[in-house]
Amino acid sequence: MTDTLSNRASPDADTQLDIYRRMLRIERNDEFTRAQIRQGRIHAPYYSARGQECIPAGISALLNDDDKICTIYRGIQDMVAKNMPLRPLWAEICGRVDGTCKGKGGPMHLTHPETGVMVTTGIVGSSMPIANGFGWAALLDGTKQVTVAYFGDGASNIGAFHEALNLASVWKLPVIFVCANNGFAEHTRFENGTGVDQISKRAIGYGMPGYTVDGNDPIDVYAHAHAAIERARAGEGPTLLECKTFRFMGHVFGDNDAYMTKEEKAAALEKDPLPLFRQKLIDDGIATEEQLEKMKADIEAEVKDAIDFAMNCEFPSDDELRRDVFAEEIPA
Protein backbone atom coordinates (compact mmCIF):
# COMPACT_ATOMS: atom_id res chain seq x y z
CA MET A 1 0.00 0.00 0.00
CA THR A 2 1.12 3.47 -0.77
CA ASP A 3 0.18 6.40 1.47
CA THR A 4 -2.59 8.98 0.99
CA LEU A 5 -2.38 12.54 2.28
CA SER A 6 -4.66 13.31 5.20
CA ASN A 7 -4.21 17.08 4.95
CA ARG A 8 -3.88 18.62 1.50
CA ALA A 9 -2.24 22.03 1.40
CA SER A 10 -3.27 23.98 -1.66
CA PRO A 11 -1.34 26.83 -3.23
CA ASP A 12 -2.98 30.26 -3.17
CA ALA A 13 -3.34 32.31 -6.34
CA ASP A 14 0.07 33.99 -6.07
CA THR A 15 1.75 30.68 -5.43
CA GLN A 16 0.04 29.11 -8.42
CA LEU A 17 1.30 31.94 -10.58
CA ASP A 18 4.75 31.49 -9.10
CA ILE A 19 4.66 27.78 -9.92
CA TYR A 20 3.57 28.54 -13.47
CA ARG A 21 6.35 31.07 -13.88
CA ARG A 22 8.89 28.45 -12.82
CA MET A 23 7.39 25.93 -15.22
CA LEU A 24 7.46 28.37 -18.10
CA ARG A 25 11.04 29.36 -17.34
CA ILE A 26 12.02 25.67 -17.47
CA GLU A 27 10.10 25.08 -20.69
CA ARG A 28 11.41 28.17 -22.50
CA ASN A 29 14.94 27.47 -21.38
CA ASP A 30 14.65 23.90 -22.66
CA GLU A 31 13.25 25.03 -26.00
CA PHE A 32 16.11 27.47 -26.50
CA THR A 33 18.66 24.87 -25.45
CA ARG A 34 17.45 22.38 -28.02
CA ALA A 35 17.42 25.09 -30.68
CA GLN A 36 21.04 25.96 -29.91
CA ILE A 37 22.03 22.30 -30.17
CA ARG A 38 20.17 21.93 -33.48
CA GLN A 39 22.00 24.97 -34.81
CA GLY A 40 25.29 23.41 -33.83
CA ARG A 41 26.11 26.14 -31.32
CA ILE A 42 26.35 23.75 -28.37
CA HIS A 43 27.92 20.31 -28.47
CA ALA A 44 26.97 18.26 -25.48
CA PRO A 45 24.70 15.42 -24.55
CA TYR A 46 21.39 17.01 -23.50
CA TYR A 47 18.67 15.28 -21.51
CA SER A 48 15.54 17.35 -21.94
CA ALA A 49 12.93 17.29 -19.19
CA ARG A 50 10.17 18.71 -21.41
CA GLY A 51 6.97 17.41 -19.83
CA GLN A 52 8.35 17.10 -16.30
CA GLU A 53 8.18 20.82 -15.38
CA CYS A 54 5.50 20.56 -12.68
CA ILE A 55 7.64 18.48 -10.38
CA PRO A 56 10.52 20.83 -9.57
CA ALA A 57 8.27 23.89 -10.01
CA GLY A 58 5.72 22.68 -7.46
CA ILE A 59 8.42 21.64 -5.03
CA SER A 60 10.65 24.70 -5.41
CA ALA A 61 7.73 27.03 -4.67
CA LEU A 62 8.04 25.63 -1.14
CA LEU A 63 11.83 25.79 -0.85
CA ASN A 64 14.01 28.61 0.43
CA ASP A 65 17.24 29.69 -1.22
CA ASP A 66 19.23 27.89 1.46
CA ASP A 67 17.36 24.62 1.01
CA LYS A 68 19.44 22.28 -1.07
CA ILE A 69 19.02 19.99 -4.03
CA CYS A 70 21.07 17.14 -5.41
CA THR A 71 20.09 16.30 -8.95
CA ILE A 72 21.01 14.31 -12.02
CA TYR A 73 22.04 14.65 -15.70
CA ARG A 74 18.35 15.33 -16.50
CA GLY A 75 18.41 18.13 -13.96
CA ILE A 76 18.49 21.57 -15.52
CA GLN A 77 14.74 21.86 -14.82
CA ASP A 78 15.47 21.35 -11.12
CA MET A 79 18.07 24.13 -11.17
CA VAL A 80 15.93 26.57 -13.11
CA ALA A 81 13.04 25.88 -10.73
CA LYS A 82 15.40 26.64 -7.85
CA ASN A 83 16.01 30.06 -9.48
CA MET A 84 19.54 29.44 -10.66
CA PRO A 85 20.53 32.56 -12.64
CA LEU A 86 20.55 31.78 -16.35
CA ARG A 87 23.74 33.59 -17.33
CA PRO A 88 26.18 31.32 -15.46
CA LEU A 89 24.00 28.34 -16.33
CA TRP A 90 24.31 29.05 -20.03
CA ALA A 91 27.98 29.91 -19.79
CA GLU A 92 28.51 26.49 -18.25
CA ILE A 93 26.64 24.55 -20.89
CA CYS A 94 28.59 26.49 -23.50
CA GLY A 95 31.85 25.50 -21.81
CA ARG A 96 32.90 29.04 -20.88
CA VAL A 97 34.99 30.23 -18.00
CA ASP A 98 32.12 32.32 -16.56
CA GLY A 99 29.98 29.20 -16.19
CA THR A 100 28.92 27.95 -12.78
CA CYS A 101 31.84 25.49 -12.91
CA LYS A 102 34.27 27.41 -15.16
CA GLY A 103 33.24 25.21 -18.09
CA LYS A 104 34.73 22.14 -16.47
CA GLY A 105 31.52 20.40 -15.50
CA GLY A 106 29.14 21.09 -18.35
CA PRO A 107 25.41 20.43 -18.56
CA MET A 108 25.56 17.16 -16.63
CA HIS A 109 27.47 18.54 -13.66
CA LEU A 110 26.30 22.03 -12.77
CA THR A 111 26.85 23.23 -9.23
CA HIS A 112 25.63 26.55 -7.83
CA PRO A 113 25.62 26.65 -4.02
CA GLU A 114 24.13 30.19 -3.94
CA THR A 115 20.83 28.73 -5.10
CA GLY A 116 21.29 25.46 -3.26
CA VAL A 117 22.26 23.39 -6.29
CA MET A 118 24.87 21.26 -4.55
CA VAL A 119 25.54 18.26 -6.79
CA THR A 120 24.56 17.25 -10.30
CA THR A 121 25.55 13.69 -11.03
CA GLY A 122 25.76 11.70 -14.22
CA ILE A 123 25.76 8.44 -12.31
CA VAL A 124 22.33 6.91 -11.89
CA GLY A 125 21.45 6.66 -8.19
CA SER A 126 24.16 8.91 -6.83
CA SER A 127 22.09 11.96 -5.90
CA MET A 128 20.45 10.18 -2.96
CA PRO A 129 23.32 9.14 -0.68
CA ILE A 130 24.89 12.60 -0.93
CA ALA A 131 21.61 14.37 -0.15
CA ASN A 132 21.66 12.50 3.15
CA GLY A 133 24.91 14.21 4.08
CA PHE A 134 23.35 17.62 3.63
CA GLY A 135 20.41 16.43 5.70
CA TRP A 136 22.71 15.28 8.47
CA ALA A 137 24.57 18.60 8.40
CA ALA A 138 21.25 20.45 8.75
CA LEU A 139 20.49 18.42 11.87
CA LEU A 140 23.96 19.09 13.27
CA ASP A 141 23.72 22.80 12.45
CA GLY A 142 20.25 23.01 13.93
CA THR A 143 18.82 24.71 10.85
CA LYS A 144 15.44 23.89 9.38
CA GLN A 145 16.93 23.36 5.95
CA VAL A 146 15.71 20.49 3.83
CA THR A 147 17.43 18.73 0.96
CA VAL A 148 15.70 17.35 -2.11
CA ALA A 149 17.24 14.41 -3.94
CA TYR A 150 15.94 14.18 -7.50
CA PHE A 151 16.22 10.98 -9.53
CA GLY A 152 14.39 8.86 -12.09
CA ASP A 153 12.38 5.68 -11.86
CA GLY A 154 15.25 3.57 -13.17
CA ALA A 155 17.45 4.88 -10.38
CA SER A 156 15.23 3.21 -7.80
CA ASN A 157 16.69 -0.12 -8.95
CA ILE A 158 20.23 0.63 -8.00
CA GLY A 159 21.70 -0.29 -4.64
CA ALA A 160 22.39 3.32 -3.69
CA PHE A 161 18.65 4.10 -3.61
CA HIS A 162 17.98 1.38 -1.07
CA GLU A 163 20.95 2.19 1.13
CA ALA A 164 20.20 5.90 1.10
CA LEU A 165 16.51 5.58 1.93
CA ASN A 166 17.19 3.24 4.80
CA LEU A 167 19.89 5.46 6.27
CA ALA A 168 17.74 8.58 5.92
CA SER A 169 14.95 6.82 7.76
CA VAL A 170 17.13 5.52 10.59
CA TRP A 171 18.73 8.93 11.06
CA LYS A 172 15.41 10.81 10.57
CA LEU A 173 17.02 13.07 8.00
CA PRO A 174 15.28 16.13 6.54
CA VAL A 175 15.50 14.79 2.99
CA ILE A 176 12.80 14.50 0.36
CA PHE A 177 13.41 11.78 -2.20
CA VAL A 178 11.74 12.85 -5.42
CA CYS A 179 11.46 10.25 -8.13
CA ALA A 180 10.36 11.57 -11.52
CA ASN A 181 8.74 8.43 -12.87
CA ASN A 182 8.60 9.17 -16.59
CA GLY A 183 7.92 5.58 -17.51
CA PHE A 184 11.28 4.84 -19.09
CA ALA A 185 14.87 4.29 -18.11
CA GLU A 186 16.75 5.01 -21.33
CA HIS A 187 14.90 2.55 -23.58
CA THR A 188 13.63 0.18 -20.91
CA ARG A 189 9.97 0.40 -19.97
CA PHE A 190 9.19 0.91 -16.32
CA GLU A 191 7.56 -2.50 -15.90
CA ASN A 192 10.50 -4.30 -17.50
CA GLY A 193 12.99 -2.85 -15.07
CA THR A 194 11.08 -2.39 -11.85
CA GLY A 195 9.55 -5.23 -9.88
CA VAL A 196 6.80 -3.22 -8.25
CA ASP A 197 3.99 -1.23 -9.84
CA GLN A 198 4.48 1.87 -7.71
CA ILE A 199 7.89 3.07 -6.54
CA SER A 200 6.18 4.74 -3.58
CA LYS A 201 5.53 1.25 -2.20
CA ARG A 202 9.23 0.85 -1.64
CA ALA A 203 9.00 3.46 1.12
CA ILE A 204 7.29 0.89 3.35
CA GLY A 205 10.44 -1.21 3.40
CA TYR A 206 12.37 1.75 4.80
CA GLY A 207 9.80 3.02 7.26
CA MET A 208 8.96 6.34 5.68
CA PRO A 209 5.83 7.71 4.01
CA GLY A 210 5.65 7.10 0.28
CA TYR A 211 3.21 8.81 -2.07
CA THR A 212 2.42 8.39 -5.73
CA VAL A 213 1.80 11.86 -7.05
CA ASP A 214 0.33 13.14 -10.32
CA GLY A 215 3.53 14.72 -11.56
CA ASN A 216 1.65 16.53 -14.28
CA ASP A 217 -0.57 18.35 -11.80
CA PRO A 218 1.24 21.17 -10.02
CA ILE A 219 -1.45 21.32 -7.35
CA ASP A 220 -0.96 17.66 -6.49
CA VAL A 221 2.83 18.03 -6.51
CA TYR A 222 2.53 21.06 -4.24
CA ALA A 223 0.27 19.29 -1.76
CA HIS A 224 2.56 16.30 -1.40
CA ALA A 225 5.74 18.35 -1.33
CA HIS A 226 4.17 20.49 1.36
CA ALA A 227 3.56 17.47 3.56
CA ALA A 228 7.04 16.07 2.95
CA ILE A 229 8.78 19.38 3.62
CA GLU A 230 6.75 20.05 6.78
CA ARG A 231 7.62 16.60 8.04
CA ALA A 232 11.30 17.15 7.29
CA ARG A 233 11.41 20.59 8.89
CA ALA A 234 9.64 19.21 11.97
CA GLY A 235 12.43 16.68 12.43
CA GLU A 236 10.25 13.68 11.65
CA GLY A 237 12.35 12.37 8.82
CA PRO A 238 12.32 11.68 5.09
CA THR A 239 9.55 11.09 2.55
CA LEU A 240 9.52 9.40 -0.82
CA LEU A 241 7.52 11.12 -3.56
CA GLU A 242 6.98 9.22 -6.78
CA CYS A 243 5.81 11.78 -9.34
CA LYS A 244 4.28 10.19 -12.42
CA THR A 245 5.10 12.03 -15.61
CA PHE A 246 6.46 11.63 -19.16
CA ARG A 247 9.49 12.94 -20.99
CA PHE A 248 8.49 14.24 -24.41
CA MET A 249 11.92 14.49 -25.97
CA GLY A 250 13.15 10.98 -25.34
CA HIS A 251 16.16 9.99 -23.27
CA VAL A 252 18.79 12.20 -24.83
CA PHE A 253 18.71 14.81 -27.60
CA GLY A 254 18.47 12.93 -30.89
CA ASP A 255 16.50 9.99 -29.46
CA ASN A 256 14.05 8.61 -32.04
CA ASP A 257 11.60 7.15 -29.50
CA ALA A 258 11.74 3.76 -31.26
CA TYR A 259 10.96 2.01 -28.00
CA MET A 260 7.55 3.63 -27.48
CA THR A 261 4.38 3.61 -29.56
CA LYS A 262 3.12 6.67 -31.40
CA GLU A 263 -0.21 6.34 -29.59
CA GLU A 264 1.35 6.35 -26.17
CA LYS A 265 3.42 9.40 -26.97
CA ALA A 266 0.40 11.18 -28.43
CA ALA A 267 -1.62 10.34 -25.33
CA ALA A 268 1.14 11.73 -23.13
CA LEU A 269 1.35 14.93 -25.16
CA GLU A 270 -2.38 15.41 -24.61
CA LYS A 271 -1.52 15.77 -20.95
CA ASP A 272 1.25 18.32 -21.51
CA PRO A 273 1.14 20.06 -18.14
CA LEU A 274 2.12 23.48 -19.44
CA PRO A 275 -0.88 24.42 -21.60
CA LEU A 276 -3.22 22.68 -19.17
CA PHE A 277 -2.03 24.66 -16.17
CA ARG A 278 -1.99 27.84 -18.21
CA GLN A 279 -5.63 27.31 -19.11
CA LYS A 280 -6.50 26.57 -15.49
CA LEU A 281 -4.96 29.84 -14.34
CA ILE A 282 -7.04 31.73 -16.88
CA ASP A 283 -10.24 29.78 -16.17
CA ASP A 284 -9.85 30.34 -12.45
CA GLY A 285 -9.28 34.03 -12.97
CA ILE A 286 -5.79 33.84 -11.48
CA ALA A 287 -4.16 35.36 -14.55
CA THR A 288 -5.11 36.92 -17.86
CA GLU A 289 -3.88 36.00 -21.33
CA GLU A 290 -2.00 39.32 -21.52
CA GLN A 291 -0.34 38.75 -18.18
CA LEU A 292 0.86 35.29 -19.18
CA GLU A 293 2.06 36.49 -22.59
CA LYS A 294 4.01 39.23 -20.89
CA MET A 295 5.48 36.65 -18.51
CA LYS A 296 6.55 34.56 -21.48
CA ALA A 297 8.14 37.53 -23.24
CA ASP A 298 10.06 38.46 -20.09
CA ILE A 299 11.35 34.93 -19.67
CA GLU A 300 12.39 34.70 -23.30
CA ALA A 301 14.25 37.97 -22.94
CA GLU A 302 16.04 36.54 -19.91
CA VAL A 303 17.01 33.37 -21.79
CA LYS A 304 18.19 35.28 -24.86
CA ASP A 305 20.25 37.57 -22.69
CA ALA A 306 21.83 34.54 -21.04
CA ILE A 307 22.67 32.97 -24.40
CA ASP A 308 24.23 36.20 -25.69
CA PHE A 309 26.18 36.53 -22.50
CA ALA A 310 27.41 32.95 -22.66
CA MET A 311 28.41 33.05 -26.30
CA ASN A 312 30.54 36.12 -25.60
CA CYS A 313 32.37 34.67 -22.62
CA GLU A 314 35.94 33.41 -22.86
CA PHE A 315 36.82 29.75 -23.05
CA PRO A 316 38.75 28.48 -20.02
CA SER A 317 42.53 28.61 -20.22
CA ASP A 318 44.42 25.32 -20.30
CA ASP A 319 45.74 26.15 -16.83
CA GLU A 320 42.32 25.13 -15.57
CA LEU A 321 43.43 21.50 -15.95
CA ARG A 322 45.80 22.10 -13.04
CA ARG A 323 43.27 23.97 -10.91
CA ASP A 324 40.56 22.51 -8.68
CA VAL A 325 42.01 19.00 -8.70
CA PHE A 326 43.01 19.86 -5.14
CA ALA A 327 42.56 23.05 -3.17
CA GLU A 328 46.12 23.85 -4.09
CA GLU A 329 46.93 24.35 -7.75
CA ILE A 330 49.13 21.67 -9.30
CA PRO A 331 52.41 23.23 -10.45
CA ALA A 332 52.91 23.40 -14.22
Partner 1 sequence: MSTDTVEMVKMNGLQAINAALMEAMEADEKVLVLGEDIADNEGGGVVGVTKGLSTKFGTMRVKSTPISEQAIIGAAIGAAMAGYKPVAEIMLMNFTTVAMDMIVNHAAKLRFMSGGQSQVPMVIRTLTGAGNQTAGQHADFYEAWFAHTAGIKVVIPWTPADFKGLYLSAIQDPDPVMIIESGKTLFVPMDTPANQGPIPLGKANVVMPGTDLTLVSYGQMMFSVMQAVEELGKAGVSVEVIDLRTVSPWDKETVLASAEKTGRLLVVHEAGRNFGPGAEIAATVQEELFGKLKAPVGRLGAPYCSVPFAKKLEDAFLVQPPEIVAEAKRLAAMG
Ligand X SMILES: Cc1ncc(C[n+]2csc(CCOP(=O)(O)OP(=O)(O)O)c2C)c(N)n1
**Least distance in Å: CB of 46 to ligand X?**
12
The correct pick among 75, 103, 238, 273 for binding partner 1 (CB under 8 A) is 103
Exposure on the CB side of residue 179, measured as CA atoms within 13 A: 29
State which residue, 260 or 311, has the beta carbon closest to ligand X.
260
Which residues contact residue 79 at a Cβ distance below 8 angstroms, ignoring those fewer than 6 apart? 69, 71, 89, 110, 112, 115, 117, 120
325 binds partner 1 (CB under 8 A): yes
Q: Which of residues 267-326 bind ligand X (CB under 6 A)?
A: none
Which does residue 74 bind out of partner 1, ligand X, none, counting CB within 5 to 8 angstroms by kind? ligand X
∠ at Cα 272 (7, 223), nearest 5°?
10
Residues 43/290, Cβ–Cβ less than 8 Å: no
Q: Considering only residues 111-150, where is the footprint of ligand X by CB under 6 A? A: 122-125
**Do 109 and 136 meet the contact criterion of CB atoms below 8 Å apart?**
no
Q: Compute the least distance from the CB of residue 106 to partner 1, in Å.
A: 3
Tell me whether residue 198 or residue 320 sits nearer to ligand X (CB atom). 198
d(CA 87, CA 85): 6
CB atoms within 10 A of CB 180: 28
Distance CA(214)–CA(181), nearest Å, equals 10
Applying CB under 6 A, does 152 fall inside the site for ligand X? yes
**Geometric angle at alpha carbon 273, from 63 and 229, rounded to 5°:** 20
Q: Which is nearer to ligand X, 47 or 206 (CB)?
A: 47
**Does position 45 bind ligand X by CB under 6 A?**
no
Give the per-residue contact string, 185-224, with partner 1 (x = CB under 8 A; - = no).
Answer: xxxx---xxx------------------------------
Geometric angle at alpha carbon 42, from 25 and 56, rounded to 5°? 25
Contact partner, 302, from partner 1, ligand X, none, Cβ < 5-8 Å per class: none
Per CB under 8 A, which of residues 151..170 are in contact with partner 1?
154-155, 157-160
Footprint of partner 1 on 248-287 (CB under 8 A): 258-259
Residue among 161, 185, 194 nearest 175 (CA): 161
Residue closer to ligand X by CB (options 155, 229) is 155
Binder to ligand X among 185, 219, 243, 310 (CB under 6 A)?
Answer: 185
**153 binds ligand X, rule: CB under 6 A:** yes
